[in-house]
Amino acid sequence: MRKNNFVVYSFLLAFFFISALHAQTAISIKNPKDAPVISKHIYGHFSEHLGRSIYDGLYVGEDSPIPNTDGVRDDLIQALKDLQIPNLRWPGGCFADTYHWRDGIGPQEDRPTIVNQWWGDVTEDNSFGTHNFLNLCEVLGAEPYLAGNVGSGTVQEFSNWVQYVNHDEGSPMAKLRKENGKEESWDVKFWGVGNEPWGCGGNMDAEFYADLYKQYATFLTSWDKDTEMYRIASGPSGNDYHWMEVLMKEIPAELMEGVALHSYSVIDWSNKGPASEFTEDHYFATMTEALKMEEYITKHTAIMDKYDPENKVGLIVDEWGGWYEVEEGTNPGFLFQQNTMRDAMIAGATLNIFNNHSERVYMANLAQAVNVLQAVALTQGEQMILTPTYHVMKMYTVHHDAQLLPVNFESPDYTYNGESLPAVSVSASKKDGKVAISLVNIDSKKENEVELDLGELDVEGMTATILTSDKLQDHNTFENTENITPGEFKDFKIKRGKLELTIPPFSVIVLKSE
């Protein structure tokens, strides 16, 4: 009898263990009429004068044998166009508060050189300046986002830059622009007032910066033009809620349209870990930091709601992404790192967070576009590769300016060494009658079964794309440029308004209604 009890007990244990492994996560998707729109600007990018981001990345010069348009690589232009890049932030970053815009205008042979004191102490010749950048944005169809010099500049210098790019005629700066070959103004909307004033932008405290911001913002105006000025205050890093509280309390709403937030997925600033040859310890720690974005946005939004209940001020996450040790043999100040399936997980999960908080999150800028940190493209001479992060962002273009469809579910856990993280993240949207659903499973080993309730969406058929690979450390190389590319995903079924599928480990899936 005891033996039989033991057999039954063992069977039950095995049954519950197997059931747990195959437990299905139920996800409901709502379709409220008053849901916010997911701004396309959430999918913005960032190019700083840092390492090989501008020079030898974006800009190779008009005399380069590499095919280019006004010195900018044609292959990169096409890649960014395919990504439907909505905006591009420039010239920094830390570099912004050392940059004097007049050094980068006029004949290139007359432009002074500058030592990039933040990134590698390299000497730059200012051959890529305001005209180059704003003309590139026109080619890309992207909104420029200019970060002005507050740390080492003046109010007059900043105001003159606004005049130079936005004033049609009748001012000295408009006259100077015309002399430099640009008759019509660019009408730049997005302006960042400094960068990280709590750090490289001047080591200020929040109260000092709030007063300084008000001074600068007062003189940033479009005069009598119809151009909308969107002034962005340099906000907190991560969980610095005091900084956000001070800015929201002290800066009048009529002087601030947006406030920035910076958050990088960094294990330890003193030992950031390798970019490609990482362990699961590294991976779990990185994802722990990446998923803190949910907490940061929720708590910063609560502060903003207190002072701005009408939601007039946008949250601008204008620096985010993974940050690791540089690749062996490269300049430590250039921040060049490989881009693996871990970065795809950061991108997919973070973008889902942004989408689901789109009532407050208006813009975000991945750091950075090319050859720096979590880049979407890497270049080497005439070659260029697209990274897993690029492919995720391209898959997510279906969410650009689409109406959010709120989701509700309890995520299964990704458990490692006794600690747990939510394994699955989801966001959904609807545009022109078409539904899009993005799902991410960050679990390094376990697949996760999900059931999506489509009852409110009137969906009959869907197609799907997946990004996955054999190992988390997999990446594209200049020898194997398509080691990781999106593929068609068919392993799902829709029956009586329910969609069932299994998400493989560390993968991203985007479904679209037909």
Strand partners, 365: 44
Q: Kindly list the distances between the CA atom of residue 259 and the CA atoms of 149, 301, 311, 338, in Å, as whole numbers in the listed order.
A: 16, 11, 12, 30
23-33+406-513 folds as Immunoglobulin-like (2.60.40)
Question: If DSSP codes are grouped into helix, strand and coil, which group holds residue 148?
Answer: strand
Could you tell me which of 381, 369, 378 has the C-alpha nearest to residue 481? 378
Residue 460's pLDDT is: 84
Residue 23's pLDDT is: 75
Could you tell me which of 241, 246, 374, 238 has the C-alpha nearest to residue 294? 238
Query: Can 250 be counted among the known catalytic residues?
Result: no
Question: If DSSP codes are grouped into helix, strand and coil, which group holds residue 375?
Answer: coil
> Which residue ranges make up each domain of the chain?
23-33+406-513, 37-402
Burial class (CB in 10 A: 0-12, 13-18, 19+), 65: exposed
Residue 226's pLDDT is: 66
From first to last of its 514 residues, the chain has per-residue pLDDT tens of 444 454 444 444 443 444 444 579 999 999 999 999 999 999 999 999 999 999 999 999 999 999 999 999 999 999 999 999 999 999 999 999 999 999 999 999 999 999 999 999 999 999 999 999 999 999 999 999 999 999 999 999 999 999 999 998 889 999 999 999 999 999 999 999 999 999 999 999 999 999 999 999 999 987 656 678 999 999 999 999 999 999 999 999 999 999 999 999 999 999 999 999 999 999 999 999 999 999 999 999 999 999 999 999 999 999 999 999 999 999 999 999 999 999 999 999 999 999 999 999 999 999 999 999 999 999 999 999 999 999 999 999 999 999 999 999 999 999 999 999 999 999 999 999 999 999 999 999 999 999 999 999 989 899 999 999 999 999 999 999 999 999 999 999 999 899 999 999 999 999 999 8
What pTM, to 2 d.p., does this model score? 0.94
- What CA–CA distance (Å, rounded) separates 181 from 185? 11
Question: Is the separation of the CB atoms in 256 and 233 below 8 Å?
Answer: yes
Question: Is the separation of the CB atoms in 166 and 228 below 8 Å?
Answer: no
Residue 13's pLDDT is: 44
Q: Both ends of the chain: CA-CA distance in Å?
A: 59
- What CA–CA distance (Å, rounded) separates 146 from 157? 14
Query: Can 319 be counted among the known catalytic residues?
Result: yes
Polymer length of the chain: 514
- What CA–CA distance (Å, rounded) separates 204 from 151? 10
**Which of 196, 295, 500, 514 is flagged as catalytic?**
196
Q: Which CATH number fits domain 37-402: 3.40.50.300, 3.20.20.80, 3.90.1170.50, 3.30.43.10?
A: 3.20.20.80
Residue 199's pLDDT is: 97
Which runs of E-coded beta strand occur in 294-412? 314-322, 361-367, 377-380, 383-386, 402-404, 407-408
Tell whether the torsion through CA atoms of 137, 138, 142 and 144 is positive or negative: positive
Residue 223's pLDDT is: 62
Indicate the pairing of strand 143-148 with strand 87-90: parallel
What's the token pair of residue 120?
A: 């590698």
**Which of 124, 143, 289, 319 is flagged as catalytic?**
319
